[in-house]
Amino acid sequence: MRLGEIYDYLDALSPFATQASWDNSGLLIGTRSDPIERIYLSLDVDRALVEATEGHSLIITHHPLIFGGLKQLDFARYPSNLIQKIVQKNISLIAMHTHFDLSHLNAYVAGKLGFEIASTKDFVAYCDVDESFEALTCKIKKVLGMKHLRVVQTCKHIKRCALTTGAGGDLIRSIEADCFLTGDLKYHQALEAKENGLSLIDIGHFESEAYFGACLSEHLKNLPLKAIISNSKNPFQHI
């Protein structure tokens, strides 16, 4: 297949135009006419993935490797070092970030937690839960494989929760629920939520988005290409 064909398929599945204004999803490296022989799916691009990827392949990631403006390409430092290797190996790169959260990933993670989405607003999915705060935290630990959770508890029972995979802390003021599940929560966000009676459960940036490859692969089965899911690793370690 040609890269342009795959891009158009992905755009129909989850329109790139619906990404957040600050995002940089889309075709980051490659030309639409590039021949693609296989696809690699990963949360992020790292050195191990680039080294393992064969030439004439397409890497589809959740997080864009090229995010802010690059004023120089220092091939000794990230991300320029990876960009150099990707170009040298004739690898193409597409990022599917906030628009895929909106169209698929929030719903996928909610489903893993046993929830159905009742409604959505911007990048927030709302679910009717009706269970204790303690039961909810136990479920999250089990499903996302987390031994410990950072929480703000303002009530004992949750009837409605909000979910945003990745880092949704900046959305706290717009949340209309008993509890907000998201990652990368900051101290002052936690303090604001507590004072406003909103419970928080930090479900981790990596942990809440680690399902990206599995989620997207379900929609690539009809393509005549093999999709290989790469197990991205959390850059943080817990000691």
Query: Residue 52 — very low, low, confident or very high, per pLDDT cuts 50/70/90?
Result: very high
Q: State the pairing for strand pair 92-95/57-61.
A: parallel
CA-based nearest residue to 63, from 36, 77, 82, 76: 82
Q: Residues 63-86: what's their mean pLDDT?
A: 93
Scanning the chain, the segments in alpha helix (DSSP H) are 3-13, 47-52, 80-88, 98-100, 106-112, 133-144, 187-195, 205-209, 212-217
Q: What is the structure's pLDDT at 69?
A: 82
How many Cβ atoms sit within 10 Å of the Cβ of residue 120?
A: 15
For 182, the token pair is 């998201």
Say yes or no to pLDDT of 71 above 90.
Answer: no
Residue whose structure tokens are 């680039």: 50
Q: Which domains are present in the chain?
A: 3-97+210-229 (3.40.1390.30), 100-206 (3.40.1390.30)
pTM: 0.94
Supply the pLDDT for residue 26. 98
Is 231's pLDDT higher than 90?
no
Structure confidence at residue 224 (pLDDT): 94
Average pLDDT of 204-228? Answer: 96
91 band by pLDDT with thresholds 50, 70 and 90: very high
Q: Are 133 and 156 in contact (CB under 8 A)?
A: yes
Q: DSSP readout, 179-202?
A: EEEEES--HHHHHHHHHTT-EEEE
Tell me the pLDDT of the chain averaged across its residues.
96
With 0-12 / 13-18 / 19 or more C-beta atoms within 10 angstroms meaning exposed / middle / buried, residue 84 is middle
Q: How confident is the model at residue 4 (pLDDT cuts 50, 70, 90)?
A: very high
The answer to whether residue 184 scores a pLDDT higher than 90 is: yes
